[in-house]
A and B are shown apart, each in its own frame.
Chain A
Amino acid sequence: MLLIQLVNGLMEGMTLFLIASGLTLIFGVTRIINFAHGSLFMLGAFLTHELVPVIAPGSVWGFFAAVTLAALVVGLIGALFEIGVLRRIYGKDALLQLIVTVALVLIIRDLVRMIWGANSVTVPMPDGLASALVIGDTYFPVFPLAVFVASLLVVLAMIWVIYFTRAGILLRAGTDDRGMLALLGVNETLIFTCVFAAGAFLAGLAGGIGAPYGEVHYLLDTSIIVSAFIVCVIGGLGNLYGALAGALVVGLTKAIGVMYFPRLSMVLIFLVMAAVLFARSLGRQGGPAR
């Protein structure tokens, strides 16, 4: 039982990391807290629900193709939003930027409800992954393991892009020092758009890949965004490895907390976050030298 919950926790942690990494990347580069990240996740789940039957119902490759396609569409939506709206409010009041993304939350939620209705929909699990591995006398469901592996591949690909490609170097330069990009003669606007699109893509991917394992409904956005915020805050906003650690902490806390405090697992996670924040605030005083 504990082992199964561990597997579930790892799976949830990895999907959380997919969402949170996008959130943290976007914050690192553009300084915008994207409240709509949960909505993009939800959109990915609904699009997967729509695409799986069209492409190849029941097959494993069809499922992953549907997820990828859905994520690409979500990424495109993210890019359009960045170009159409966010670009006009960089450098303005942080609250204003936040409210713009809240506006996107509201718009997406109502559109989703218009299109797919207020009831939850399901995404069928691909037949090949619906079984369970038997090790000793424990059953391990295959699907969470597959999701974990797939997410891990995405994460490794992402780390490769960020640390070993020119685009990634530019991105890190932009995170550390935004003036740097201009000095390097890079088109800053393009980087911002790409980062936002990539973050949206990751959110969509996370939404699609985990969709068969839970209910997909139009209220998914807020619960996901809150979890993603917690992950980012535990890891430190803008810090990718921190987000990975935070995601695993939250995923495992949730999965194991459910066993012992079934009703209060969320409270447990908030307490972890509050403790991390509190610990970070200790021993800090003063201010700028200048």
Chain B
Amino acid sequence: METTTTNNDALLSARHIRKAYGSFIALRDISFDLPRGERHALIGPNGAGKSTFIACIAGQLPGVQGEMLFAGESILSLTPAQLARKGIGRTFQISRAFLEMTVLENMMAAFVITSGGWAGLRARAFKQMLEPAFAMLETVGMAERAGDRVADLSLGDRKRLEFGMALAGDPDLLLLDEPTAGMSIKERHFLMEMVAERVDAEGRTLLFVEHDIDVVMKIAARVSVLVRGAILAVGTPQEIKANDEVQAVYLGGGH
């Protein structure tokens, strides 16, 4: 694969991305294209750089070298907030929500912020967000817990809430960093099927990090395998499953 210039057709196109923490190189020369509307999984052993790559896209790391285009626009110099406003929504590996607020307050905050009305003082505009907030909570299955404090929720519940909050901003690109960690197998499949369904129905693009290979096989249209900061292979789930190199390094667990 010869990729020296960025691909303007892809929603996200990265070239020669490199990120080092001191002498430790977390990402080395990653080039990556994500076509619009694709559901793409990022897999790899622990420490391969999956979360670092997600953080690069979301603008959270300083000192990233290379080139990255989102919808044809260079984004490496933008802040997380600017990227979010451009249409990149994300969840975190260790879920982040407003811990001392209730579930509904979290969702309301998500709608207030993504609507751009964060500085608003009017109660009426605020109240109008109650409906969409509740609707989103229903979607992710958290409506019954609307009045509970997030600090009291289980990890799986927090992940679902976070997914709903990421959706509130109507993002073109959804970055989910291990969205199913801490969930039961049944919950995992249900959540990711729901995610896939919504992503398809609303024409979003999905990039997710996932350890559960069954979920990856079912949800992803294409898979990238990241090993020690470099992309080892890209392909459909079947191709990846059949790739000997991947088997050796990752799936087989041997070296």
Q: Do chains A and B touch in the complex (CB under 8 A)?
A: yes
Please report whether the interface of chain A is mostly helix, strand, loop or mixed according to DSSP: loop
Is B62 a contact partner of A288 (Cβ separation < 8 A)? no
The answer to whether the Cβ of A289 comes within 8 Å of any Cβ in the partner chain is yes
Stretch in contact with the other chain, from B53-61, B215-223, B236-244: B53-61
Partner of B177, one of A285, A286, A287, A290: A290
Residues of A within 8 A of B80 (CB): 285-287
Tell me the interface secondary structure of chain B in the complex: loop
Residues in A whose Cβ lies below 8 Å from that of B134: none
Q: Which of A242-290 contact B (CB under 8 A)?
A: 283-290
Name the one of A286, A287, A289 contacting B51, with C-beta atoms under 8 angstroms.
A289
CB-CB under 8 A from B94, the residues of chain A are 290
When the two chains form their complex, are residues A286 and B93 in contact, meaning their CB atoms are under 8 A apart?
no
Contact of A289 with B62 in the complex, beta carbons under 8 Å: no
Residue among A284, A286, A288 facing the most chain B CB atoms (10 A cut-off): A286
**What A residues does B139 contact at CB under 8 A?**
none
- In angstroms, Cα B93 to Cα A290, docked, is 5
Give the chain A neighbours of B250 by CB distance below 8 A. Answer: none
B177 contact set on A, CB distance < 8 A: 290
Answer whether residue B126 sits at the interface, using C-beta atoms and an 8 A cutoff.
no
Which of A283, A288, A290 has most B Cβ within 10 Å? Answer: A290
Pair B59/A286 contact, Cβ less than 8 Å: yes
Instruction: Give A284 to B55 CA distance when docked, in angstroms.
Output: 15
CB contact under 8 A between A283 and B60, given known A289-B52, A290-B51: no
Identify which of residues 75-128 in chain B touch chain A, using a CB-to-CB cut-off of 8 Å.
Answer: 79-80, 92-94
A283 touches B62 (CB 8 A): yes
Nearest CB in chain A: distance from B176 CB, A: 13
Instruction: Give A290 to B52 CA distance when docked, in angstroms.
Output: 8
Contacts of B62 in A (CB 8 A): 283-286
User: Closest approach, in angstroms, between the C-beta of A45 and any C-beta of chain B?
Assistant: 43
Inter-chain CA distance A290–B177, complex, in Å, is 8
Please measure, in the bound complex, the distance between the C-alpha atom of A284 and the C-alpha atom of B59, giving whole angstroms.
12
The answer on a CB contact under 8 Å between A290 and B61 is no
A43 to B167, CA, bound (A): 59
Closest to A290 in B: B93
- The residue in A283, A284, A285, A289 that gathers the most chain B C-beta atoms within 10 A of its C-beta is A289
Compute how far the CA of A284 lies from the CA of B60 in the bound complex, rounded to whole angstroms. Answer: 10
Q: Which of A283, A285, A286, A290 contacts B92 (CB 8 A)?
A: A290
In chain A, what residue has the closest Cβ to B64?
A: A286
Q: Which residue of A lies closest to B21 (CB)?
A: A289
| Contact residues of B between 26 and 59, Cβ < 8 Å to A | 51-52, 54-55, 59
Chain B residue, CB-CB nearest to A284? B62
The chain B residue with its CB closest to the CB of A289 is B55
Residue contact B51 to A285, C-beta cutoff 8 Å: no
Q: Which residues of B contact A286 (CB under 8 A)?
A: 55, 59-62, 79-80
Closest Cβ of chain A to B91, distance in Å, is 11
Across-interface contacts of A287 in B (CB, < 8 A): 60, 80
- B206 to chain A: closest CB distance in Å? 19
Residue of A nearest to B59 (CB): A286
Tell me if A285 and B93 are in contact (CB < 8 A): no
Q: Give the docked Cα–Cα distance between A286 and B64 (Å).
A: 12
Instruction: Give B168 Cβ to nearest chain A Cβ, in Å.
Output: 20
- In angstroms, Cα B81 to Cα A285, docked, is 11
CB contacts (< 8 Å) of B60 on chain A: these are 285-289
For A284, list chain B residues within 8 Å (CB). 62
Which residues of B in the span 155-172 have a Cβ within 8 Å of any Cβ on A? none
Q: With the chains together, A289 CA to B80 CA distance in Å?
A: 12
B residues neighboring A (CB under 8 Å): 51-52, 54-55, 59-62, 79-80, 92-94, 177
Could you show 25 A-B contacts with beta carbons less than 8 Å apart?
A283-B62, A284-B62, A285-B59, A285-B60, A285-B62, A285-B79, A286-B55, A286-B60, A286-B61, A286-B62, A286-B80, A287-B60, A287-B80, A288-B55, A288-B60, A288-B92, A289-B51, A289-B54, A289-B60, A289-B61, A290-B51, A290-B55, A290-B92, A290-B94, A290-B177
The 4 closest A-B pairs by CB, nearest first: A286-B60, A289-B55, A290-B93, A287-B60
Q: Given contacts A285-B79, A289-B60, could you give 20 more A-B pairs where the C-beta distance is less than 8 Å? A: A284-B62, A285-B59, A286-B55, A286-B59, A286-B62, A286-B79, A286-B80, A287-B60, A287-B80, A288-B60, A288-B92, A289-B51, A289-B52, A289-B54, A289-B55, A289-B61, A290-B51, A290-B55, A290-B92, A290-B94
